[in-house]
Structure 1
């Protein structure tokens, strides 16, 4: 049953994405940015609905009251593709830092450009960080947007040792806005590079913001400590839930 439900969800998820790109996103590219942003959020909600109905995977958002108004950084644990579209539904005007290669995908890349997402050339290192900082200051300072960043740079398996990059501390020091840590246990239910979609409840926890003013080293330590502690707690909760369902929470995770 798990394999069949996972197969059905994967087929429907990507079919739904293609249909939205062709029949909704493509026409929306000709409309104001706010319309396209609402379209992207609507697609995200449709994907979450598919997950619940087809794969039996619900979700719970904890700590919405911790989201401050105005420009801020959001530093999220990254275990799965799930949080990339779910986070989009939680903030009024989010901007992601993402791989430049994604901007070259027809329609999807055009959508990212219209939404003024910030591309990064991972091979450029210092120059890339300088360019990202300049663009982020424009989007946060002038437009009051919410900068979404995955401080480890890529998806990490549940329980893997943390690998936080220097870039998040640099941006925190340069932006001068609160940083909102976010913990998840999504990798238990939507494992990276895998076919299975496990039933249960994905939990995403928004932690109290780290206010501006810390030095880079202190900030990096505080951010990692908060995210990892909360994510470990959510992972323990998720593993207990999966075990109660008779599913192996450690298999291929």
Structure 2
């Protein structure tokens, strides 16, 4: 078993993190009902709380590098754990996500997702799902903000291979907005599953924008290249040694 004290601290951190989610959601609920600005204030306050308590309780410091997007852009990020969501949302002014349609009925979470303009999508067959996503994004454009998407579609453990899905490229083409790639190393410290949290410096790095107007295939190749190479660099900086591929 890993360090028992650190395991206990990790457990306490996780418990308080979810309790704090409920507290913040309830405190901000009425103002958020009347103003989206209060909904964004709620998610910002909560994410900053998680960052601070992670540093204090388990020694997991965090840092956001690069120029934080302020305009209406598409953010395409590497996704390794819940913590990369926390880091991005803590600094982006008007974050919104593409999410599973079922989540809109989740207590509190569904309410805030609706208020900040998240876009619920029904995951069906591939062609149907992409068409639904494009339609929903067009409707969701009524709420301004930074649309965050995970090109691999799920959390990916450090060192694991997972293809990039073309849906990100189709949204990039549809929106006609710059895409800001984002890399991370958070999975080195905060795994996809389990309780134990490692101390260290978790980083999300915003990379130079990919201008609108590129062909989908060219865009997808460039996106994967820059996100994967930057994420590998950040993970190596954190001491992660990848297994040889092949």
Does structure 1 residue 11 correspond to structure 2 residue 12?
Answer: no
Distance 1:26 1:132 in 2: 28
SS at match of 1:79: coil
Which residue in 1 is equivalent to 2:100? 99
Cα distance, 1:52 vs structure 2:
0.8
Cα distance, 1:218 vs structure 2:
0.7
SS at match of 1:239: coil
Counting matched residue pairs gives 239
Q: Structure 1: 5+ residue runs without aligned partners?
A: 244-248
CA deviations on 1:195-243 (whole Å, 9 max, x unpaired) are 1111110011110000012111111100000000000011111126xx9
5 Å matches for 1:1-253?
1-21=5-25, 23-64=26-67, 67=69, 69-140=70-141, 143-239=143-239
- Give me the CA root mean square deviation: 2.0
Which residue in 2 is equivalent to 1:246? none
SS at match of 2:213: coil
CA deviations on 1:69-123 (whole Å, 9 max, x unpaired) are 5221000000000122221122221210111221111121112112221012112
**Is contact 2:158-2:187 (8 Å) kept?**
yes
Distance 1:37 1:223 in 2: 28
SS at match of 1:64: coil
Distance 1:40 1:11 in 2: 18
CA deviations on 1:139-191 (whole Å, 9 max, x unpaired) are 44x55421100000100001111321110011111111110000000001110
Distance 1:109 1:137 in 2: 20
CA deviations on 1:12-31 (whole Å, 9 max, x unpaired) are 1112112222x314323432
